Structure 1
C-alpha cells in the first residue's frame, strides 16, 4: 500500500499536466486561426497603371522630307538645343550632318558640267553640219543652173543630144530638191538634239538647286513658338545629339501645345478587356503628389505590343486630362486609376478567403468550433476584395486561410436553380 501511495501522486500530477497541455495547445492552435467578416458598402473596380504626360496636339520639327530623292536615308544630328528650351519662331533648333548630301551635290555639279559640255558640242555639231548642208545646196543650185544653160544651148543639136542634156538638167534639179529637203530634216534633228541637251542641262541645274535648298534646311529652325521636346523612338529612347534621323520619319523634336494634355499608359493583356473609352480616370503626378487631376479614356489600342523590360504584351491607352494647368509638362510620370465599374451597396470579402475545390469557388465558414465548406457565386473583383452574390451572409465568420484539417469537413453546395440564375446571362452572351 505504501508503494502505491509513493507513485500515485506523481502519476496524478503528470496526468493533470498532460490534460492542461492538451487544453492550452488546442486553444493556442485555435487562436492562430484568423477570421474575417463580410462587409457591405460601396464597391469599385479600378485599374492602376503608371504613364507619361504628352501634349494632345503638337507641331513637329522635322528634317528635310525630300532627302530620299537623293538616296539619303539617315542623317546624324551634329547639334541640338537642350530639351525643354523655350524657342521663338525662326530660332535655331538643330544642325544636321551635311557630308553625305555635300558629296551628292558635288556629283550633281559634275553631271551639270558634263551636260553643259555636251550641249555646247551639240550646238557646234549642228552649226558645222548645217553649214556644210547649206554649202552643198549652193553648189547644187549652181549645177542645176549650169545644166539649164546647157539645155538652152542644145536647141540646134540633134534630138538625142537634146534629150541627154535635158535628162542631166532634170537630175541636177532633183539633187537640189533632195538636198533642200534633207537640209530641213537636218535642221529639225539639230534643233531636237540641242533641245534634248538643254533639257538635260536644266534637269541637272534643278537637281543642284534642290540639293542646295535641302542643304540650307539642314540647319533647322523652330516653325512656331514653344518648348522643344525631343522625339521619342519606338523603343522608348529619345533623339539626341549623335542620333540619326531617318528619311522615312524625319521628326527631330516637337513643340507641344500645353492647353490639352494626355496621359499615355500601357495596360496588360489581362486587364485590357475591362478598359473602355469614356471611363473616368484619377490622375496623380509623381513630381507633384499634392496635385490631383481627372481625365477620361479616349482611345484603347486594338493590337498589343512588347514593351522593353516586359515579358507580357501590353496595350496602349490614351487618357485626356480634363484640367488645364501651366505646370504640366510632357514626359512627367503619372499614376492613372481607371474606374472600371462600381456598386453602391455590395457584400464583399477579402480575396484571401476565396479558395477552389474541384473547380468550384468556395469559402470556409466558422460554425461553433468547426469549419464548413460553402460554395459561392462571385461578382466583381478588384485588387483586394470580391463581391459575393450567393453563399455568404453578413453575419458569417470566414477563414482567411485554410482550416487545419479539411478532410472530414462538411461541404455545402448551392442549389442548381440558384446557379442557373448566374449562368444564363453568360451562356446567352456566348451564343450571341
Structure 2
C-alpha cells in the first residue's frame, strides 16, 4: 500500500485492529500499539468513533484493559457500541465491578442524551450481576427490561435465568423461564443447571426430561446439569444411567466436566475408590477441579492414603496451587497428625507458595462491600465482629458445632 503511494484510511485501521483482537499475542499488542500511534498522528483515535472503538476492543482482547480505558476516556465522540465494548472489555478481563461502574456512567450519559441501552448492554450488566451476586441491581435491570422493548428477547431472558440462579433466587429464575414465549436450548440448559446448583435435583431432572419431550435434543451442557443434580442429591444409579445415555444413545463424547461430575457423584457418597477408578480410566488427564473435589472428599472421610495419592497428581498439574496444600495440611490436622501438617506448611514456604486470603462480598442498598479474611481495617470493624460473635453464639444455642479440626492455628500462619 505504501509502495503504491496509497494512504490508509479508517477502514484500513479498523481491519488491522480487528485482526490483532482476534489473535491476541505479544506480537499483536506490538502491532496494535503501532497502529494506535499512527491513528494518533491523524487524530482518528479521538475524532473517529469506529477507530476508537476498534482500539478499545483490541486492547481489551489482548488483556490490556487499562490501555483500553485510556482510549475510551480520550474519545471525543462515543456511541452505544463504544460503551458496550468497554463494558465487555472489563467483563472479559474479570474486572466486574469496573464493568458495572462503566454501565452506571453509560446509563447516566445516555439518559441525558435521550439514548436507550440496547440488549447487548443489558446482557453484559446482567452477567456482571450474576458474577458478583448483586441481586438488587439485577432486580432493577429486570424491571428496566420489562418496561422497555426487551421483554421477549430470548437472550436477555436466558441471562436473567442465569443471574437469578447464581444469586440463589431459583424461583425467580423459574418465573422468567415459564413466562418465555420462545425458548432455545440455552434457555433449557440455564434453568436445568440453575436447579442443579441450587440443590433441586428433582426439578432439574424433571425439566431435563420435559426438554426432550418438547423436541429439544440435550447437548453436553444439558448432561452436565443433569449429572450435577444427581451428584448433589446422591442419586448414583440415576447419574450413571444418564452418563451412559449420553455416551451410547446420544453419542456425545464425554468431556472432562462430565467425568468430573462422576467423580463428585462417587465422592459425595463416600465411594472414594470408585471415584479414583473414574480418574484412572478417564481418556484425558484430570484437572485440578476434578482432583480437588476428590481431595475434599478425602478430608471429609479422613482417608489420608488416598489424599496423598491425589495430592501427587495435583502437584504435577498445579505446583503452585496453594489451596491444595492447605487442604492437605488440614486433612492431616483433622486426624491429629500435626507434625505432618506443619511439614506441608513448611514445604509451601520453601516453594514460595502463599495462601491467598479468602474474601466474601455482600450487596447492601446497591453497594458492594468486600470482607477479607482476618482483615480488621473496616471502619465498622467493632460492630461487625460483635455481630459475628452474637451469630456464632446463637448458632451454638441451636446445636451447631463448628468443625475446628483444621483450624490453621499451628506453625506456618
TM-score using structure 2 length: 0.16
Larger radius of gyration: 1
Higher relative contact order (CA 8 A, sep 6+): 1
TM-score using structure 1 length: 0.15
Structure 1 or 2: larger strand share?
1
